[in-house]
Structures are given as structure tokens and as C-alpha cells.
Amino acid sequence: MTIEEKDNKVYVKTNSWQQPIHMTVKVPQRFSLQLKTVNEGDIVVENVSGELELSNVNGAVIMRQVSGSAVANTVNGPSGPTSRT
């Protein structure tokens, strides 16, 4: 796993496609996020107010108690009604 800060952004990358990684990242309540994952990982965002850009391949995108603008995309993830709680 590598963690790098550049231009006021933090990049977390891993080449661990054979072994799942569970990661919890805590941020201030007012925070903008751009999150991406591929293969069997869900993206869950809770209690955040800000601009959200969430992208997932082969997994779910779940938002709870969020406010602000949000763009969420999943390919081969679960489908159904969209709601923001």
C-alpha cells in the first residue's frame, strides 16, 4: 500500500487485487471526497457534507447522512432504487 499527498489531495493505492483490504478513513464532517475502487469492495460514505464523487466497479456505493452534491457510479454493482438518507 502506498499513501501520497500531492496538491492538497491524499492518494491511497494498493496492488492487492488477490487479497481484500478493508479500510476506514475518517475525515472532517465538512469534506469533499473523490473515492474509487475496483473488484469486490464497497464504498460507504457516512456523515459527510461536501462534494462527493464516488465510483466503483464490481461493488456497491452507499451513502448515509450525507449532504451536498453527489455523483455516484457503479458498474456490475447492486442495482435498485436510489436514495440518500
| Termini Cα distance of the chain | 32
Rounded to two decimals, what is the model's pTM? 0.80
Say what the pLDDT of residue 82 is: 65
- Residue 3 pLDDT > 80: yes
Say what the pLDDT of residue 81 is: 64
Q: Which amino acid is at 66?
A: V
> For all residues of the chain together, what is the average pLDDT?
86
Model confidence pLDDT, tens digit, residues 17-45: 667 778 888 999 999 999 998 887 889 99
Model confidence pLDDT, tens digit, residues 49-80: 999 999 999 889 999 999 999 999 989 888 76
Determine the Cα–Cα distance for residues 62 and 35; give it in Å rounded to an integer. 12
Say what the pLDDT of residue 41 is: 82
